[in-house]
A and B are shown apart, each in its own frame.
Chain A
Amino acid sequence: MSHIVSLRSASLRALRSSSTIVAASKCTTSPHRSCQPLRKFSYSILSTSPDQNSTIGNNKNKKRKVGDKVSVDEAIAEIETDKANLSINAPEAGTIEAYLVADSDNVTSGVHVAKLNTSADAKPVSESKTDAPIGKVETKSGQSIEKPSADPAAHISLNELSPSAGAIRDTSAPQKPIAHPIKTYAKIDPHNVTGTRLETRVKMSRMRLKISERLKEAQNTCAMLTTFNEIDMSNAVEFRKKYADQFLKRHNIKLGFMSAFVKASACALTDSPIVNAVIDGNEIVYRDYVDISVAVASPKGLVVPVIRNVEKMNYADIERAINEYGEQAKKGTLPIEDMDGGTFTISNGGVFGSLFGTPIINLPQSAILGMHGIFDRPVAINGKMEIRPMMYVALTYDHRIIDGRDAVLFLRKIKQYVEDSRTMFLDI
């Protein structure tokens, strides 16, 4: 469907040629409105001089030529009047079909300047096809244009005498006055940076509000610090490669690295109960179970379901639980109870390629492990340089109850249990 931005919504011809209507007001009662959705634009065109009624400007310069593609708000022509240059901007993206005034022509307010084709396929359209008399880019609702002095757009554009020129005069009965039409710009896509210097405001979703609240709370209560270490993943990689097929056959799920880390964390937590504890008022609450929250990405945002009693699970159980939660998160059917509690959190930034970073504590816990990407790096082993798949890990902890020494040793334990899982059985 070809969209020609044209004026007269009143004209049936315009309807037949399926033009979109350029209108700015919220008027809903005009009988001339077409059935197509009203588009709001703002845009001021032609100049007026400070003397209200004589509205002559010179259309001095077409900045873009016919056939040029213009983006929303791009300047397409300039008008000079009374020592002031006013630029005319495209209310919508499209292609300039034709200019209706020539360079250096004198124009008065309300005169049509150009025809803009806003359809996606901008084929040059001949005059006869559209039948719509002239395309005008202006802020009006389906009104006839022969009212220069009462043209709201014109008044707004250059009312040099009174700066409070926001008010439009009612030029037709059913039209509601708009306070600041200049502010209603064509909607832009918030996800696209097109360089037209516009802003779009989108209300924050409930989830986002909740997330931001909790994050700030964590920052404000905990004395947060981060300690880092690196893990040589070669053993884990080999281990996984060796048993992947068997595992898949028996349990019907893929063997990933998360299970190694979750189990390693659980063992380390049983070893260092202070990391598994939490401050409540002026008491430290120790827990004799390990519930690990695993950060999972869902279409609505980050969710952290809890795997309960990890100290009793093996790799297969852990993988199964993670898988289940993943599915539920995708479908959005994660039950609330499964998100509650947890004594420790693991966040995996590595899936996105992160190298290094500081996770933020998930209250009311005392620590969080951040996993990052596995990258081949040259490392020194026994005096020789070797290339190993290395992963940086970060432990952010609450220094109010976990001292630096405890945190570092805890992280080293995790490193040990991941680099050589056999040590878990040795309890060393």
Chain B
Amino acid sequence: MQSILRGGNRVLISKSTNVYTNLALERYLAENIKHQPKTRLLLLWRNQPCVVVGRYQNPFAESDIKYLAEKQIDLARRYSGGGTCYHDLGNLNVTIVTTREDYNRKKNLHWIVNTLNEAFNLTLHVTDRDDIFLDTFKVTGSASRLERLYAYHHFTLLINSCLNDLRRSLKSEDQIKITSKATPSVRSSVLNLADRNNSITYEKTIALLIEKFFQWNNEKNTTNCDYIDPLLYYEQMKDFENELKSQKFLYQATPPFVYTVEHEKQPIEISVSNGIITDIKGNDSIIDKKNFLGQLFHAVYHNIQKLNKT
């Protein structure tokens, strides 16, 4: 059995649809595979409904936390930067991992655009911000992570995702209440590929990408494509997975921000740093500061919302 960590031009498809597992798998493979120059690893994955925020984003500003909890939509923070996405089984995640020197986002995106345009008769194009648009609609968002020895570029591809859920999940009323230096998302109208060409399915897309991937890399050995069950590597990946699932990483890795609440027509500014409420400025007589100072913001979020009612 060949080692899962061998280098070369390879395709791996994850059998898991758990966002934390897949993110951990992505990082595990990127960090541990012996990447060889001029070769690429293609990782294909998709998740059960979830919202994935970028490394330095503020989940409260990017999504409707309450709605996510109600509908049991997972919330995850990824290691790479960029904006927030909504994932579900109709949204294909593609990661291309290479050595640091071979990192080239534009090449990756152009390959996808050319492949899809040819096969499905579409008119996709790559924008300056490294997104893929179909006319005026966004179908792909990119993000990447560069380390000394490796770099990965991952992007989503809306095939036939539930756009209503997407819009509902990414709608945040807190956006205007939050001031921070966190990375803001640039919102765009989205569209599914299947909406333009209804013969496009997830299965067809991955089959196409796999075939064209080997061609793109001039790789004659087209058998280097495997399904990978991340459970088999649980031991190796569990640190990443636990970090990704932890409240600490999810909420406390948010860059410092100020959350403004209107209470009886008076603004109260709650400063949060590392997920902990460090300061509250406002009318002292109204609120009981003791309940909030030093607490984890996400833990008392519900109470803070109540303050806003009046």
Contact = CB atoms under 8 A, between A and B. Distances in A.
Contacts of A166: 101
B148 A103 contact: no
A85 B144 CA distance: 6
Contacts of A157: 146
Nearest to B98: A163
* SS of B interface (majority): loop
Contacts of A75: 147
A160 B149 contact: no
A50 B130 CA distance: 10
Nearest to B146: A86
Interface in A121-179: 157-158, 160-163, 165-166
A162 B82 CA distance: 21
A80 B78 CA distance: 13
A80 B146 contact: no
B59 interface: no
A83 B130 contact: yes
B23 to A, nearest CB: 14
Given A58-B56, A60-B255, A87 B148 contact: yes
A41 to B, nearest CB: 12
Contact of B181 (A81, A82, A104): A104
A83 B82 contact: yes
Contact of A163 (B107, B146, B181): B107
B54 interface: yes
Interface in B106-150: 106-107, 129-130, 142-149
Interface in A63-110: 73, 75, 78, 80-87, 89, 103-104
Interface size class for chain A?
Answer: 20 to 34
B83 A103 contact: no
A362 B256 CA distance: 70
A85 B148 contact: no
A80 B142 CA distance: 13
B105 A197 contact: no
B183 interface: yes
Interface string B147-168: 1110000000000000000000
Interface of B: 54-56, 79-83, 100-107, 129-130, 142-149, 181, 183, 253, 255-256
Interface of A: 43, 50, 58, 60-61, 73, 75, 78, 80-87, 89, 103-104, 157-158, 160-163, 165-166, 180, 182, 197
